[in-house]
Every structure is written in structure tokens, then in C-alpha cells.
Amino acid sequence: MHQGLRTSIIATTFTLAAAVVLTTGQVVFASDDHAGDTHAAPSHSASAPDGSVLNKLGIHVGGYVDIGYSHNFNDPGDNTNHGRVFDTQDDSFTLHQAQMVIGRHGHSGGSLTDRAGFEIRLGYGEDARVFAAEGTDRDDVFDILEAFASFALTDTLSVQVGKYATLLGAEVIESNDNWNFSRSYLFGFAIPFDHTGVRLTYAPNDMLEFNIGVNNGWDNLSENNNSKTFEFNAVLNLPYGISWSNAIVFGDEHRELGEAGEEAEAARAAMASFSPVSISPSDLMIAATAGDVTHDDQRLVYDSILSFQPHDQWTFMVNFDYGTEQGTGQHESAAEWIGAAGYAHYDATERLALTLRTEVFDDKDGVRTGLVQTLFETTLTAGYQVTPALETRLEYRYDATNHDGFFGPGEDDQSTIAAQIIFEF
């Protein structure tokens, strides 16, 4: 995106938000039920005061600011935490995201206007360089994470059209909706970030929810080949805090580049010479799918999330992913990747929470991380809620691999410590 245009968009957005605040007399906290974060940790939110302009229009506005700092005990020469998704900068204060969301939830039973809704989610910060969709500027620190229109067809059936978060994964892009500071390998390498298309949601009761959609593909704003990607998700909610989600995405994700063109040459060059310790997950996907391949080489990922809350203070969660893609493995065979992550979350007090995450990710053919390897990580995060709007986190993480060099020259493991501040508004 052009620098001047980007600056204008950001300035206009925050000016409008300031005008809303002045008009209503206070900030309204954003709703935390945007697409794709069903299994994330709940964010702290509040509703608009009765009689406010926003409340009358049914519009919510809010967001958060996320700033972090991490130190790598390997003291890497390139100041990079290798293999990480967002927390890649060593010994650096990082503005991960300043995110703002504005939207309106449609509901059935009223006029056509009452049934209509929308959501626009804007992000500014270093994280945008990673999750920015193909077809946008990945060197830019500004991105439109979600922009969709919705319509409540009935009490149980609704439709979304536009760009929205994926249905897969236990973790989400929004830092305040996760338990840990750093993201898992499954979040960064096993699943997509977002889709652009149309999605139907059917929720016949509080126990069941079904989603089905047709999209352009993985993390691409516009279609990059002649095929569509299909998604399906089923969620079962039971007593005692039991929730089980099963989701599938399926479609041809190979880019249609042809034999000539600067884009094709650049992609093939990246595929042949990229360093797996410095390329982002999104760029790695582009490089891995840029070769001359036939269409109908399908990519399929199955994602399952099981959560259980046996006590008000304890929540346990397991996330499993299996992926396969035709024509990208050795000798053009089908490549595979598989992984699992387990979480134990403990609310020690109303302000203090502890989360332990442990994970294994097997990149059997090296198409997701750039190397044939098995990755392991264990993370311990302490979060302290200073005020309803301000949270601080301290985190220790240990990574290991069975392939030397992934975490730097001659390094098969790394340890980091990080601090994070999140302010919600």
C-alpha cells in the first residue's frame, strides 16, 4: 500500500474513533465474538451505556494495543527468534498491534435493517507483516484483518460475505484473546490465518453450531488460481464446560504463475534459496506452492479442538491438526504435517492467571517450515490483570528440534523470556 494512502487511512480511522468517543462521552468496548475466536480466551469487554448514540445504532467500537519485549538466551547474531510467528525480534521493544474494530451485529425478528450487520477490523504493527493476505503489501505494517457484511436470515441461520478469520485453530491473531504471549507452531505453520468468500452459520440451539463456506483460498484476498477452497466446521457444546470443535479446509492452493513474469521468477527464486529461519509462514507458503504443478493438487487440513472446564479456576484444552497436500512432497508425492498442543489454564485469583502450553509439530516433508523436522515447545505464561483494561504478561518458552540449524547456525534449541503489555479500549 502507498505510504501516503496508508497514513491517510490510519489517520482517518482514529479520527473517526475519536469523534465517536466525543459524541458518546466514553469508549465502547468491542465485542469478542468475531469469526474464528470461538476457542480463544475471553477478552474483557463492556457494553455501551443505555441511550448512547452507538447503542441506538447497534454499533460497537473498540480495540487494543499490544507491546512486547523478548530476550533470546542464545544471543542470535541476527537478533531473530527463529521459528516464531510474531515474536521474532530479539532484544527489541515491539509494537505488535494497535487494533481497532467497528461493527454491528444483525439479528432476526425485525426489519431488514435490523438483520444486517458488518465488521471491520484494522491492525497496525509488526504482526501485520506476517498475517497480511496475499495480494496486499506484506512489507506494510497496516492491514485490514477482517471486513465482512452479515445478514441474519432466520433465528438460527446467518451469512457472512467478505474477509474473515479462519475457523481452525485454538489460538487467534488477537493477542488479548489468547492465554499465551507467543503463538504455537500449529497457529503459524499448520493452518491458515484468514479467508475471503462467503460463509453460512447454522446454530439450531446452544449445543450445536455448524459453519460451511466457499473461499478464494488460504490467506489470499483475491483468487490466485481457478479453484475454490471449501471449509466446514461443527461445534458441540456440552455441560461442565465441554466443547468440541471439528473443522476441515479443502482446496487447491497452488498459485497460477505460468512460465514467465516477474512474480513467477521471484517465487521460484524464493523456493530455491530461502532461509527457513528467516522467512515468514505466509511467504513460506507462497514459496512452497510456486513451482510448476498441475491443478487439482489438493491441500486438506483437519483441525480438532477439545476443551474442558472442570472447575471455575481450571480450563484444559487440546488442539490437533493434520494436513496433507498433493504434489509437494518428495518426488511430487503428497506432503504431510501433523501436530498437537495441550493447554492447562489456571485462574489463581481474579487478577492472576497461569497457562502452561506444550506442543509437538512434525513437518514430515518440510513444506511448512522449510526443513524435514519435528519441533517441540513448552511455554509458561503468567498474566496479571492490573485493571479491567490493562493486562501484563511474563512468559518463558523453550523450543527444540531434531534438525540442527533451524534456530540459528548449529542451534537445535532456544530459550526466550518475554514481557507483554495489552491495553484494551
> What are the residue boundaries of the structural domains of the chain, listed by start?
3-424
Which pLDDT does position 28 carry in this prediction? 40
CA distance 38 to 40: 6
Which pLDDT does position 49 carry in this prediction? 52
Which pLDDT does position 20 carry in this prediction? 47
Are the C-beta atoms of residues 383 and 393 closer than 8 Å to each other? yes
CA distance 356 to 268: 40
In the numeric block, the cell 508425492 is attached to 333
pLDDT in tens, the chain (425 residues): 455 555 455 545 544 554 444 444 444 433 344 433 444 454 444 444 555 667 777 889 999 999 999 999 999 999 999 999 999 999 999 999 999 999 998 888 778 888 999 999 999 999 999 998 887 777 789 999 999 999 999 999 999 999 999 999 999 999 999 999 999 999 999 999 999 999 999 999 999 999 999 999 889 888 878 889 999 999 999 998 999 999 999 998 876 654 334 444 454 454 444 444 445 555 555 555 554 445 567 899 999 999 999 999 999 999 999 999 987 766 567 899 999 999 999 999 999 999 999 999 999 999 899 899 999 999 999 999 999 999 999 999 999 999 988 998 889 999 999 999 999 99
3-state class (DSSP) for residue 222:
coil
Which pLDDT does position 330 carry in this prediction? 65
CA distance 119 to 111: 19
- How would you classify residue 327: left for phi > 0, otherwise alpha for psi between -120 and 50, otherwise beta? left
Closest alpha carbon to 173 in 62, 305, 44, 66: 66
Cell numbers given for 213: 463456506
Question: Which contacts (CB < 8 Å, 24+ apart) does range 175-178 have?
Answer: 175/64, 175/66, 175/96, 175/97, 175/420, 175/422, 176/43, 176/44, 176/64, 176/66, 176/391, 176/422, 176/424, 177/32, 177/37, 177/40, 177/41, 177/42, 177/43, 178/40, 178/41
Q: What is the DSSP letter of 134?
A: B
**Angle made by CA atoms 335, 336, 339, in degrees to the nearest 5:** 155
CB atoms closer than 10 angstroms to residue 63? 24
Looking at the chain, how many residues does it have?
425
- Give burial (CB, 10 Å; 0-12/13-18/19+) of 151: middle
Cell numbers given for 263: 512474480
Please tell me the class of the 3-424 domain. Answer: mainly beta
In the numeric block, the cell 480463544 is attached to 40
In the numeric block, the cell 465488521 is attached to 119
